[in-house]
Amino acid sequence: MQDSSAARIAFVGAGSHSTASLYPNIAHIPQFDLVAVCDLDRNRAEHAARVFGAPEAYTDVGRMLDTVGPDGVCVCGSAEMHHRVGLEVLGRGIPVFVEKPPAPDVEACRELLQAAAATATFGMVGFMKRYAPSNVVARQFMQTEGFGALSSVTLMHGAGPYDDVRRMLYYNGSHMIDLARFLAGEILTVHALTADHLPTAKAVAASFRFAGGAVGHLNMNSGGTWNDCFEQVYITGESCQVLLDGSRETRVMSPRGQFADGQGLELYGWSNSYYVSGNMAGWTSGGHYTRGYWGELSAFCRAVVGEVAPTPTLQDGLAVLQIIDAIELSAARGEVVALR
């Protein structure tokens, strides 16, 4: 049943990622009223509208916006599409959710921020790892007395093949960089190395200094497969460690052996290891809840109707793109690069 305070949302893009990872969540979000689908390919637009319950399908964004007048718009495609469509949506004063990366470069992302400011609206970026339960409860534990002060964060991610380091960082590495900021705060300096000598197996090793004094490291590579991406995050505090395994498990290694109050307790109870079941919400065999897709879309709808503040924002998207630029510059120069 649709919530009476639901946001009327139009969706631009009906490709493989959106229809596999984003649209399937809509039926499980009471605040999400899908009012239209738009794609340059009419067959794809009509198919997505039919399967996911939108009353209208379009091939022209401007016509859709004029006809439907949505409360918010989700956009999923290339970085260039996010920028182009995002400007059109924000220019009309409509909140927008764009998949990552939000734009093809830093300057284009700044244009999105300027457009949002000019019409007093907002944009969100699809860094879904902020909404993965394992990451949420780890951050909760990090804020407790039992964890103490953060000392280090190590992030590892292995993706399928890429033929370009920058593209790998934009489309996969951006998630891990935003997760580093979500867990540890602002990054002040970057010192990076890149490996670009193999056709499709690219690699980045980047060291970070965070504003709170902690250090971090990102090991990002494309030497894996798309069927079995590897991901782990290791976090250390004061006599306490947390291990996150692919947004599926949170393992706390602490003398106290207790977890934080809140969602961690609600989902997992008292233990040292916290496993996210594949069917935790009864419909998540595809991992939509576990990986954070449900959470980010739900948060966007709630932000549109004014229930919560939007996060992650376009400013977060800009910060990630600036860090990627700093990684590339550091690797090219062989020196530490300051972000602030």
Q: Is the pLDDT of residue 292 over 70?
A: yes
Average pLDDT of span 190-211: 97
Domain boundaries, the chain: 7-121, 130-280+321-333
What was the pLDDT predicted at 137?
82
What was the pLDDT predicted at 162?
97
280 against 209, higher pLDDT:
209
166 against 290, higher pLDDT:
166
Q: Is the pLDDT of residue 136 over 80?
A: yes
Average pLDDT of span 186-198: 97
> Considering the chain, what percentage of its residues have pLDDT values greater than 70?
89
What was the pLDDT predicted at 282?
35
Report residue 145's pLDDT band, with 50, 70 and 90 as the boundaries: confident
What was the pLDDT predicted at 4?
56
Both tokens of 224, joined, read: 């894996």
SS3 string, 148-205, reads CCCCEEEEEEECCCCCCHHHHHHHHHHHHHHHHHHHHCCEEEEEEEEECCCCCCCEEE
Report residue 140's pLDDT band, with 50, 70 and 90 as the boundaries: confident
- Per CATH, is 130-280+321-333 categorized as 3.30.360.10? yes
Nearest 5°: phi and psi at 195?
-115, 115
Average pLDDT of span 267-273: 50
What was the pLDDT predicted at 146?
80
Report residue 275's pLDDT band, with 50, 70 and 90 as the boundaries: low
320 against 240, higher pLDDT:
320
Q: Is the pLDDT of residue 3 over 80?
A: no
Report residue 262's pLDDT band, with 50, 70 and 90 as the boundaries: very low
> Considering the chain, what percentage of its residues have pLDDT values greater than 90?
77
Per-residue pLDDT tens digits for 45-93? 999 999 999 999 999 999 999 999 999 999 999 999 999 999 999 999 9
Class of domain 7-121: alpha beta
What was the pLDDT predicted at 134?
84
Side by side, the strands of the sheet bearing 215-221 are 273-275, 249-253, 241-245, 230-236, 152-158, 215-221, 203-210, 187-195, 337-338
Nearest 5°: phi and psi at 279?
-120, 35
